[in-house]
Chain A
Amino acid sequence: DGGITQSPKYLFRKEGQNVTLSCEQNLNHDAMYWYRQDPGQGLRLIYYSQIVNDFQKGDIAEGYSVSREKKESFPLTVTSAQKNPTAFYLCASKPGLAGAGEQFFGPGTRLTVL
């Protein structure tokens, strides 16, 4: 089945630790995105990427880092510099840059900092 997978589903982290959230897609999509959701807020863009080894900061990139070494993978690292990392994280992808097409979403990872 084609789709986007995120792992783990739930993640617990101690304060001061870095943690990496996985996002993999087998849709052959060029563009990939990371969003964060907090209660009562819309999805906010953290980072996005159009091609291997290229990515752009979104609106709330501070305290996060990403890599795009392979087309199908776009992992997100939540660093200790992120002041309030407890949230729900969604990964998405899109076939190409052009066109108004929809984004395809993964199931999300819920991160809790203890």
Chain B
Amino acid sequence: ILNVEQSPQSLHVQEGDSTNFTCSFPSSNFYALHWYRWETAKSPEALFVMTLNGDEKKKGQISATLNTKEGYSYLYIKGSQPEDSATYLCAFRGRGSTLGRLYFGRGTQLTVWP
């Protein structure tokens, strides 16, 4: 079983603060790194799928970077809003992974206070 680590486990910020969190994964046999947002009482939804070292992706005020050589990805939220409150999951897929299976981290729970 592959080890995917996320930090911090939880984060509380004020509206308007910028924040970032980390996902660490094995640096060998990398194929893809996924980020999902999971809001309470909803289904997890994909934010980004990243495949290339140095990839940077952006969706609105959320962006992510990827370093496959050292095995980490950062997720940034600029100017957090209460609606950004959710658990953010990252998931690693290795090369040769059967049926596209993913290995998930434990998530970072973000709470944005108005």
A residues at B contact (CB < 8 Å): 4, 31, 33, 35, 40-45, 48-50, 56, 58-59, 90, 94, 97, 99-108
How many residue-residue contacts, CB under 8 A, span A and B? 60
CA distance A106 to B32 in the complex (A): 22
Contacting pair A4 B101 (CB below 8 A): no
Chain B facing A: main interface SS? mixed
Contact residues in A for B100 (Cβ distance below 8 Å)? 31, 94, 97, 99, 101, 103
Residues of B29-66 contacting chain A, CB below 8 A: 31-32, 34, 36, 41-46, 49, 51
B residues at A contact (CB < 8 Å): 1, 4, 31-32, 34, 36, 41-46, 49, 51, 89, 91, 93, 98-107
Contact pick for B105, options A42, A56, A102, CB 8 Å? A42
A16 to chain B minimum Cβ distance, whole angstroms, is 30
Contact residues in A for B41 (Cβ distance below 8 Å)? 107
Contacting pair B106 A31 (CB below 8 A): no
A9 to chain B minimum Cβ distance, whole angstroms, is 10
CA distance A31 to B91 in the complex (A): 17
Contacting pair A102 B49 (CB below 8 A): yes
Given contacts A48-B99, A100-B51, contact A107 B31 (CB under 8 A): no
CA distance A104 to B43 in the complex (A): 8
B103 to chain A minimum Cβ distance, whole angstroms, is 8
Contacting pair B43 A42 (CB below 8 A): no
A93 to chain B minimum Cβ distance, whole angstroms, is 10
Residue of A nearest to B46 (CB): A102
Given contacts A59-B1, A97-B100, A100-B51, contact A40 B43 (CB under 8 A): no
